[in-house]
Structure 1
Amino acid sequence: MRNHFLLLLFIPFLFSCIPAKDIIYLQGEPIAKKEIKRINNIPYKLQVDDILNIDIKSNEESLVAVFKKQSTGNAGGAAAGLSEGASYFSGYSIDSYGNIRMPTLGEINVLGYTVLEVRKKIENELKKFIKTQEELFVSVKLAGIKYTVIGEIGSPGPNVIFQNKLSIIDAISSSGDITAVGNRKKVEIIRNSITGTEKFTIDLTQISAFDSDVFYVKPNDIINVIPLKQKTWGTGTTGLGALTTIVSLFTLISTTFILARNL
């Protein structure tokens, strides 16, 4: 009878520990290169509240000075290392109608356009005002990739990374990594697009994650790291933690039993 009782106590221990295969990233052998549809390479289409850094240059700077937004520091707002706050004030925010408002050029609709298409659109607008043969150089970039991580993550909340491309591995590591009780096999990505809100999942424990359509983060993505069942059970995330919990429970039951007998 005693042996059966001890076995019942240790059954939770067998199921409460988190296996190594659930916490190791990108397991498996690399897949041989083959022709794969690269949806990740589809250019991002701008949305409301995105911020653009636009810089206009010419061989004759006086010709383009009137088209530049006046701000502290770099007038075009394209200098490397701009902070999020500086980008907010010096960049061009897309309003609820999908427009940006530029000096002299006025309102330009950019909703649903790529940054390349916006650059060409601005260049065409500038040619209406500048009739000389002076060469124009227009640079259009997103003011960083903003995303939000919630759930079982070291540092939850919004974050901005100043680069052109951002993988979900980079995003998670920049937010303090997934906690021991975070589910790496089913990380959720909530994404807003022109067509509406979509939800995807990705398994970060497998090397095949590189081929996922959502391996690269898009601006304004929400990354939700859901907890493992072990967190709900509260039995510990490691063998030692689970054993400590079981020993404490066994001690409590034994003490209660002894006290009850002595009453």
Structure 2
Amino acid sequence: MKHSLLICLTILMASSCISNKRITYLQNLPGNPEINLDEFIPYAEVQYKYILQPFDIVDIDFASASPELTEVFEFQGSRNIRGGMMGGAGNGDLFFFTGYSLDESGNVELPKLGKIKISGMTEEEAKNSIQHAINAYFKEEVYVKLRMAGIRYTTLGEFGSSSTKVILRNRATIFDALAASGESNILAKRNRLFIIRQYDGGTKIHQINLNDRSLLASPFFFIQNNDILYLEPMKIRQFGNADNLASSLQLFGTFLASGLLLFGLLRGNF
């Protein structure tokens, strides 16, 4: 009986352990080309260029030698709102109030110029399209600057925090998203991170492996605007989360030891 209980305890403890191979980022996994330290890794052949979509928010700014020309394109109070909110550099809602939102048809509406369709374009193509419309309206030169109003993405599952976040940069990697969202806890399946990505007219689900070093050359190394990231939990999740797993096992061991002691005492009396 004692041997049976000892074997069961050994099996339980072994099944409760998590191998480092399951939680270590960027390993050289079998079956993939080995990537050595200090080795140059080119980006994926699919070049990272985000295509604007309906309901995106873009930041458009104008400059001219004549200030009265640029004032034509400023919504009342938007410059004051922008100046008042810049103190909170991490606040992604800044561009929600001061940026330009694409409608369901992919048009952006600008004062004097009306609606201009820019969905399906890169940032550079959209900028050139608006610049062309302004050049046709004004004889005096007005310079246009257009950029995405940050990269908005959503995290679900075994992240440090599940929410929608904004990275105020033109480009961000999957590890930037992990760092901004709180590193995935120890019970996350790092080999099964799902990216739900928006495309023109639809959505695709992609799966990546954070343990795999070849991720650095993957087309999904960079996140895109409106990505949804989902991390599955391991099966061991049923015993507790990463914070209380050790306590749960310790408590279980205490009860088991007490049970074995009680069993020994009772057996000795009979």
TM-score normalised per structure 1: 0.85
Distance 2:191 2:90 in 1: 35
Deviation per CA, 1:17-70: give whole Å up to 9, x if none: 11112112122343744776432x231111122111001111223233313333
User: Which ranges in structure 1 are unaligned for 5 or more consecutive residues?
Assistant: none
Amino acid paired to 2:159: I
Q: Which residue of 1 aligns with 2:79?
A: 73
Q: Secondary structure at the match of 1:127?
A: helix
- Per the TM alignment, residue 210 of structure 1 is displaced from its structure 2 partner at its CA by 0.7
- Alignment of 1:109 onto 2:117: yes
Deviation per CA, 1:181-215: give whole Å up to 9, x if none: 01111111111111411111111122211111111
CA distance 1:76–1:61, shift in 2 (3 Å): farther
Distance 2:42 2:245 in 1: 43
From 71, 81, 85, the equivalent of 2:93 is: 85
TM-score normalised per structure 2: 0.83
Cα contact 2:161–2:182 (8 A) shared by 1: yes
Distance 2:210 2:189 in 1: 9
CA distance 1:253–1:26, shift in 2 (3 Å): same
User: Which ranges in structure 2 are unaligned for 5 or more consecutive residues?
Assistant: 29-34
Give aligned pairs, total: 258
Amino acid paired to 1:21: K
From 184, 191, 206, the equivalent of 1:178 is: 184
- Per the TM alignment, residue 235 of structure 1 is displaced from its structure 2 partner at its CA by 9.8
CA distance 1:242–1:30, shift in 2 (3 Å): farther
RMSD (Å) for aligned C-alpha atoms: 3.1
CA distance 1:241–1:207, shift in 2 (3 Å): farther
- Alignment of 1:232 onto 2:238: yes
Cα contact 1:230–1:236 (8 A) shared by 2: no
CA distance 1:161–1:237, shift in 2 (3 Å): closer
